[in-house]
Amino acid sequence: MKSIDDVLKSRVEDFDMERGDSLAGIQDILNKNYMGRVRAKKIKDGLLTITTPSSVVANELRLAQVKIKKQLKDYGVEEVRIQIN
């Protein structure tokens, strides 16, 4: 029989909860400069997708990509994709 720790670790992996924790941390960093204007949508294989409803903010993000990648390096962000929704 599995221990409760093994079951919980398995569930975290199944639901990819660690990625959710990473997204929450990324969102906190993004909020420092873009409060309420951007959303860290997903991160997969080092590619972070950020969404915004504003084309102006999207352009700001594009110009700041190098800085953003440096700030989020600890979260495994290697590339940033910006989507306008």
Which of 76, 80, 19 minimizes the C-alpha distance to 52?
80
pLDDT at 37 over 90: yes
Domain 4-84's class? alpha beta
For the chain, domain boundaries: 4-84
pLDDT at res. 49: 96
Single-letter code of the amino acid located at 68: I
- pTM score, whole prediction: 0.75
Q: What is the pLDDT of residues 62-83, one digit of tens each?
A: 999 999 999 999 999 999 999 9
Q: What is the pLDDT of residues 6-17, one digit of tens each?
A: 766 666 555 554
pLDDT at res. 4: 74
Task: Name the token pair of 28.
Answer: 């906190």
40 or 6: which leads in pLDDT: 40
Which of 42, 46, 49 minimizes the C-alpha distance to 23?
42
